[in-house]
Structure 1
Amino acid sequence: MGRRPTRAADPAISPDPTPFREARRAQTEISFENQSLLGALFGQFDANLVQVENRLGVFIHARGDRIMIEGPEDAVARARDTLTTMYDRLAMGQDLDAGAIESLIAMSNEPTLEGIISGEREEPPIMIRTRRKTIVPRSATQITYMRSLVRDDIIFALGPAGTGKTYIAVAQAVSQLISGSVQRLILSRPAVEAGEKLGFLPGDMKDKVDPYLRPLYDALNDCMPPEQVERRIASGEIEIAPIAFMRGRTLADAFVILDEAQNTTKEQMKMFLTRFGQNSRMVVCGDPRQIDIPGGERMSGLADAVSKLEGIEGFGTIRFTAADVVRHPIVGRIVEAYEGPDA
Structure 2
Amino acid sequence: MKLSRKQRRMLEQGKFEEEQHIEKLPKIRTIKPITDNQKQAFEDFYDGQNLLLTGSAGTGKTFIACYLGLNEVLRKPEVYDSLTIVRSVVPTRDMGFIPGKIHEKQQVYEMPYTSIFQEMSMEDDRRFYDKLKNQNIVNFITTSFIRGHTLKNTIIIVDEIQNMNFNELWTVVTRVGKNCRIVFCGDIKQNDLYNQREESGFKNFFKILHNMKSFSTTEFNINDIVRSDMVKEFISTADKLSISPNT
Contact kept in structure 2, 1:156 and 1:283, CA below 8 Å: yes
Evaluate the alpha carbon distance shift between residue 144 and residue 298 of structure 1 in structure 2; reply closer, same or farther with a 3 A threshold. same
Which AA in structure 2 matches 1:293? Answer: L
Q: Who is 1:319 aligned against?
A: 219
Aligned residues: 213
Contact kept in structure 1, 2:37 and 2:220, CA below 8 Å: yes
Say whether residues 1:188 and 2:86 are aligned partners: yes
Structure 2 runs not aligned, ≥5 long: 1-25
Deviation at 1:234, TM superposition (A): 2.5
Q: Which shows bigger deviation, 223-232 or 132-141? A: 223-232
Larger radius of gyration: 1
Secondary structure of 2:183 counterpart: strand
Which AA in structure 1 matches 2:205? Answer: A
1:278 to 168, 178, 194: 178
Distance 1:202 1:279 in 2: 36
Deviation at 1:229, TM superposition (A): 3.9
**TM-score, structure 1 normalization:** 0.56
Deviation at 1:182, TM superposition (A): 1.6
Contact kept in structure 2, 1:159 and 1:287, CA below 8 Å: yes
Distance 1:201 1:264 in 2: 19
Following TM superposition, the consecutive aligned residue runs of length 4 or more in structure 1 with deviations greater than 4 angstroms are 197-202, 225-228
Evaluate the alpha carbon distance shift between residue 233 and residue 314 of structure 1 in structure 2; reply closer, same or farther with a 3 A threshold. same
Contact kept in structure 2, 1:163 and 1:327, CA below 8 Å: yes
Deviation at 1:168, TM superposition (A): 0.9
Q: Who is 2:228 aligned against?
A: 328
Secondary structure of 2:189 counterpart: coil
Distance 1:178 1:168 in 2: 15
> What aligned pairs does 1:283-302 form with structure 2 within 5 A after superposition?
283-295=183-195, 298-299=198-199, 301-302=201-202
2:203 to 300, 303, 309: 303
Evaluate the alpha carbon distance shift between residue 251 and residue 204 of structure 1 in structure 2; reply closer, same or farther with a 3 A threshold. closer
Evaluate the alpha carbon distance shift between residue 150 and residue 277 of structure 1 in structure 2; reply closer, same or farther with a 3 A threshold. farther
Q: Who is 1:210 aligned against?
A: 107
Q: Who is 2:72 aligned against?
A: 176
User: Structure 1 vs Structure 2: percent identity of aligned residues?
Assistant: 25
Structure 1 runs not aligned, ≥5 long: 1-129
Which AA in structure 2 matches 1:306? Answer: F
Distance 1:251 1:201 in 2: 26
1:141 to 37, 56, 61: 37
After superposition, the C-alpha distances for 1:14-73 in whole angstroms (9 at most, x for unaligned) are xxxxxxxxxxxxxxxxxxxxxxxxxxxxxxxxxxxxxxxxxxxxxxxxxxxxxxxxxxxx
Deviation at 1:190, TM superposition (A): 0.6
> What aligned pairs does 1:46-195 form with structure 2 within 5 A after superposition?
131-179=27-75, 180=77, 181-193=79-91
Say whether residues 1:252 and 2:159 are aligned partners: no
Secondary structure of 1:285 counterpart: strand
